[in-house]
Amino acid sequence: MLKRIRVEDLTLGMYLQEFCGSWMDHPFWRTKFVLTDPKDLERIRATAVEEVWIDISRGKDVAQGKPSVTQEEDEIRSATDFGELVAMPPLKVVEPEKPPPPMRDLRPTTTQAELHRAAQICNQAKEAVVSMFQEARMGKAVDAESASILVQEISDSVTRNPGALISLARLKTADEYTYMHSVAVCALMVALARQIGLNDAQTRTAGMAGLVHDLGKAAIPLAVLNKPGKLTDEEFDMVKSHPLEGWKMLKEGSGVEAAVLDACLHHHEKMDGTGYPDRLGHDKLSTIARMAAICDVYDAVTSDRPYKRGWDPAESIRRMAEWTKGHLDPRLFQAFVKSIGIYPVGSLVRLESGRIAVVMEQNVASLVTPKVKVFFSTKSDLRIPPEVIDLSVAGTTDKIVAREDPDKWRFPDLNTLWSGIQGQPW
């Protein structure tokens, strides 16, 4: 049985299941172990992490009278919170959207129709980001303005269909994480900017901020970035230096807007002032920095890393909802969920009928009724012929009743089922 407890109530002998926070908040490369070393306990308490999940079936329980939340209680609360999002009004539009130039194709498309075009954009974007990082490592001034056409391509793809490029960018290998993470955060920033009503120019600025926000990692040795084991305190401090290093690199370049510089420097700040490098807090954090924090965390936790498997998209949304207490801006997080869905494309879900399905496409009118592809029956414990079902269509009796853990089922073709693309898409 899992319980969420405060870090100060953590004791030796407890089985640590996971940290409630971003991977960048602590130097541990793994969770799921019994706490036996007092030094590990001290290191955990010295981090910005405030809560952890423990498994009381595999270790000590929290002391009687100490506050805790069971997984079942957390699921009920989470479902209630998400239910409120369905009727939530959109944020106020900053200013009217200007008509796009006629040469840009922004006609809405289905996820399937956009996927192959999105794969080509991802491939081009990855090459551009690799080149940008290489130039930064060699000490060359970064010309962010030259990436503006790429940001526009990503923005246009997200405008045509948000789910396609965002979902494809999540399918990166651990080795290419640093580069494709920049592409993914660019797309997520564009989607969030559209959701909160930013105009075309502001949306491009948000996309540019996403593309270059992690440029400072070019100053960190690859051996540290890709280390599969626990980071030393010195290595962890080195990784935490990347926002400032990136800000310096962009400052020396040309054509970089102040908002982009701000997002680069402050995307690891937190609403409660415990982030880094400047511990700003909500009263001093800009909107674009708050947006970058959300988009950065989402892609980080859903991606495979050298030291950790990525979480399922729907599970990631649920867990991130816990972090709006002090880490993420709750209002912007609600808008973010609206932009990608409670069950983002690629999420594995269980239907009321007992069938397992993968989410194919969002329904703009309702967060809880996406288009899904069913392919497995839990009643017969067998694969069934794949069938696409739009849960929003009148008369459809089936509905999503739970998220499912892909690691539990280990369907080898899960990504192909929703994308229709065999193998690595770029």
Residues 75 and 134 in one domain: no
Q: What is the mean pLDDT of the chain?
A: 87
Whether residues 122 and 235 share a domain: the answer is yes
User: Do 329 and 380 fall within a single domain?
Assistant: no
Do 335 and 365 have their domain in common?
A: no
Does residue 91 fall inside a structural domain?
A: no
Which of 44-48, 195-199, 258-262, 348-352 is predicted with the least confidence, judged by mean pLDDT?
44-48
Which residue, of 275, 305, 340, is where some domain finishes?
340
Percent of the chain residues past pLDDT 70, beyond the cut: 89
| 354 assigned to some structural domain | yes
Identify the domain boundary among 340, 365, 391.
340
Q: In terms of domains, do 332 and 251 share one?
A: yes
Q: Which residue has the tokens 């929703």?
A: 418
Are both 139 and 246 inside the same structural domain? Answer: yes
Q: Compute the distance between CA of residue 305 and CA of residue 231 in angstroms, rounded to an integer.
A: 14
Q: Which residues contact 64 (CB under 8 A, 6 or more apart)?
A: none
Q: CATH code at 200?
A: 1.10.3210.10
Q: Based on the domain organization, do 223 and 242 belong to the same domain?
A: yes
Q: How confident is the model at residue 94 (pLDDT cuts 50, 70, 90)?
A: very low
- Calculate mean pLDDT across residues 210-234: 91
Answer yes or no: are the C-beta atoms of 148 and 174 closer than 8 Å. no
- The string of pLDDT tens digits covering residues 107-143 is 888 888 899 899 999 998 999 999 999 989 988 887 7
Structure-model confidence comparison of residues 69 and 75, the more confident one? 69
Distance of CA 385 to the CA centre of its chain: 31
pLDDT at 32: 78
Residues 268 and 368 occupy one common structural domain = no
| DSSP state letter for 355 | E
Residue 370 lies in a domain: yes
Asked if 219 and 264 sit in the same domain, the reply is yes
Highest mean pLDDT among 7-16, 39-48, 86-95: 7-16
* Residue 269 pLDDT: 96
Distances (CA, A) of 144 to 133, 150, 208: 11, 11, 8
150 shares a domain with 36? no
pTM given for the model: 0.79
**pLDDT on residue 84:** 47
CA terminus-to-terminus distance, the chain: 41
Confirm whether 236 is domain-assigned: yes
Residue 385: helix, strand or coil by DSSP? strand
Inside any domain, residue 406: yes
pLDDT grade for 73, boundaries at 50, 70 and 90: low
What pLDDT sits at residue 112?
A: 85
In the predicted structure, residue 350 carries a pLDDT above the cut 90: yes
If you average pLDDT over residues 346-371, what whole number do you get?
94
Range of the domain at 374: 348-419
**Domain for residue 264, yes or no?**
yes
101 occurs within a structural domain: no
Residues 81-100, mean pLDDT to the nearest whole number: 47
Cβ count near 8 (within 10 Å): 10
The answer to whether residues 319 and 362 belong to one domain is: no
Q: What is the per-residue DSSP string for 251-269?
A: HHSBS--HHHHHHHHHTT-
Q: Which of 286, 308, 340 lies at the terminal end of a domain, its last residue?
A: 340
Phi, psi of 160 (to 5 degrees): -65, -40
Count the domains in the chain. Answer: 3
How sure is the predictor about 30, in pLDDT bands with cuts at 50, 70 and 90? low
Instruction: Give which of 319, 325, 310, 363 is closest to 341, Cα–Cα.
Output: 363
pLDDT at 280: 93
Pair 326, 414 in one domain: no
**For position 67, what pLDDT does the model report?**
85
On whether residue 424 sits in a domain, the answer given is no
